[in-house]
Amino acid sequence: MNVFIDTNIMIDVLSKRDEFYLPAARIVSLADNGKIDLFASSLSFATSSYMLSKHNKEMDVIRELEKFATLCYVTPVDYRTVFSAFKSDFSDFEDALQYFSAQRCDADVIVTRNTKDFAKSAIQVMEPQEFLDSLIRK
């Protein structure tokens, strides 16, 4: 199963955000154990670096991002992705970039805490705990 995570999920894991960490970490653990294929866009790495560097040393942030990159496939945000986002009906450009990046990896699901931002998605969109619960039902 190809699981694309939005930037907020990556930041939840890397910053260990109290109320959001556990479900996000469980999803990453599934990838680490070979149960799912995890994908994140290159844009998420850039945004996470920026956000995490506000409260951490840059070298520590880069080291954590490098480790994270070994657990997932990094999807491109290239010309095709950008122009698809320009022409889309998404109200938020960054969300459109994420969506078309997820499309490029044939994502089965996009995991985000902002499901409403992906209302135009043809790909299934779930919150972290909702995604984990869906695996139990299978």
What are the pLDDT digits (tens) for 24-34? 999 999 999 99
CATH code at 33?
3.40.50.1010
In the predicted model, what is the mean pLDDT of the chain? 94
Query: Starting from the edge strand earliest in sequence, which strands make up the sheet with 37-41, in order?
Result: 73-75, 37-41, 2-5, 109-111, 124-126
Q: Under DSSP, is residue 49 helix (H, G, I), strand (E, B) or coil? A: helix
Task: Kindly report whether the global pTM for this prediction surpasses the value 0.85.
Answer: yes
Beta bridge partners of 92: none
pLDDT for position 94: 94
Q: Domain range for residue 133?
A: 2-137
- Total of domains in the chain: 1
Quote the CA–CA distance of 96 and 89 in Å, as a whole number: 8
What are the pLDDT digits (tens) for 64-94? 999 999 999 999 999 999 999 999 999 999 9
